[in-house]
Amino acid sequence: MRIKTGLLLAAAVLLCFGCAGKRETERETAALADAGLEKNENLITVGVSQVGAESDWRNANTRSICSAFTPENGFDLIYEDAQQKQENQIKAVRNFILQEVDYIILSPIVETGWEAVLQEAKDAGIPVILVDRMAEVDEDLYTCWIGSDFEKEGQEAGRWLADDLESRGRKEEEIKIVTLQGTLGSSAQIGRTEGFASVMREHKNWTMLEMCEGDFTQAKGEEVMEGLLERHADIDVVICENDNMAFGAVDAIHAAGRTCGPDGDITILSFDAVQAAFDALLAGEINATFECNPLHGPRLREIIQTLADGKPVDKIQYMEETYFDTTMDLEEIRKTRVY
């Protein structure tokens, strides 16, 4: 992994201002060499713009991608962490274009606002692979997308809740729900919110009291849950659009003197199924977690190798996913899980 932002900027400046519009390969190579960034022609250069490090899921995703694109595997990886800011991602993609990387991998923090920079990548002839989250652009602006069916995950959570309420004899009861939403406008937020809402529409006795943004972080999840508990005394269910927000919600619920999980008075449903969520399930703090598979690295590598061989790839590729709850043999299941 190479993270040399200062040098990259120096190289970018040299490239922008040193070539009077038309870029010449020799001068570019010299500029990059001066900045210590000469291209290894034997390796495929891949620029990765990651969202940030907001959650356990994200860190597992970063590890998976970084370990797939190593020099031993034939790749030169340039990794940029956008710290949850779209402007940083746009800057990173522009730097990748200046460096003439062979491929760009982009996990767009939100779905909108990508047309201009993806058009620039297309004009430069650099294939862009979208990963995890989607961008709302013309489909000829990216080569393919791989990620999760977030809407299906939200539906699964809704169906799980319906079954659980029925098994507890609460099918006809008035059920009060709140949601901790992920980053507004991100595919994971949009899909999970809509998926759960589609099941809610089938249950007239379910009421969504409030939905608040928790930005996919534990700290924000806790803060938002504190406010929700102050405003609503009668919460039955909390939908947390990722595990980290669920961990924050559990802390807030306990601090308020309330209980949660299968034996508590508030049901907690979550998404991701990271290792710490297994701990929370085993501790009886949350009821179920709906898997979001972060292991994109090997599939991304396969896609780039296929493209490098001049072969086509499927435009849309979904990850395989399931869910976990406290009725399962979680100790046994977690042994085989790598995140």
Q: How far is the CB of 26 from ligand AHR (least distance, A)?
A: 41
- Distance CA(104)–CA(203), nearest Å, equals 44
With CB under 6 A as the contact rule, the residue among 44, 47, 48, 54 that binds ligand AHR is: 54
Instruction: Write the binding mask 195 to 234 for ligand AHR: x where contact by CB under 6 A, - elsewhere.
Output: ---------------------x------------------
Token pair recorded at residue 234: 């009668």
Residue 267 touches ligand AHR, criterion: CB under 6 A: no
Residue 272 touches ligand AHR, criterion: CB under 6 A: yes
Q: How far is the CB of 52 from ligand AHR (least distance, A)?
A: 8
Are the C-beta atoms of 129 and 146 separated by less than 8 Å? yes
Task: Please tell me the number of Cα atoms within 13 Å of 173 on its side-chain side.
Answer: 17
Q: Which is nearer to ligand AHR, 55 or 287 (CB)?
A: 55
With CB under 6 A as the contact rule, the residue among 11, 35, 48, 58 that binds ligand AHR is: 58
Q: How far is the CB of 292 from ligand AHR (least distance, A)?
A: 5
CA dihedral 170, 261, 184, 303 (to 10 degrees): -110
Q: Which is nearer to ligand AHR, 192 or 301 (CB)?
A: 192
Binding to ligand AHR (CB under 6 A) within 83-102 occurs at none
Q: Which is nearer to ligand AHR, 37 or 292 (CB)?
A: 292
Q: Which is nearer to ligand AHR, 15 or 188 (CB)?
A: 188
Distances (CA, A) of 177 to 55, 158, 181, 211, 212: 24, 11, 13, 9, 12
With CB under 6 A as the contact rule, the residue among 102, 132, 151, 285 that binds ligand AHR is: 132
Residue 247 touches ligand AHR, criterion: CB under 6 A: no
- Distance CA(54)–CA(62), nearest Å, equals 11
Are the C-beta atoms of 296 and 63 separated by less than 8 Å? no
Torsion sign (Cα): 115, 113, 215, 80:
positive
Binding to ligand AHR (CB under 6 A) within 290-309 occurs at 292
> Any idea which residue has 């940030």 for tokens?
52
Name the amino acid, one letter, at 105.
I
Window of 17-25, 52-60, 169-177, 306-314 that interacts with ligand AHR by CB under 6 A: 52-60
Token pair recorded at residue 142: 């990216």
Residue 50 touches ligand AHR, criterion: CB under 6 A: no
Q: How far is the CB of 299 from ligand AHR (least distance, A)?
A: 15
Q: Which is nearer to ligand AHR, 45 or 50 (CB)?
A: 50
Q: How far is the CB of 215 from ligand AHR (least distance, A)?
A: 9
- Distance CA(287)–CA(210), nearest Å, equals 20
- Distance CA(274)–CA(292), nearest Å, equals 9
Token pair recorded at residue 301: 């590598």
Paired strand residues for 179: 211, 239
For ligand AHR, the binding residues (CB under 6 A) are 54-55, 57-58, 132-133, 188, 216, 242, 271-272, 292
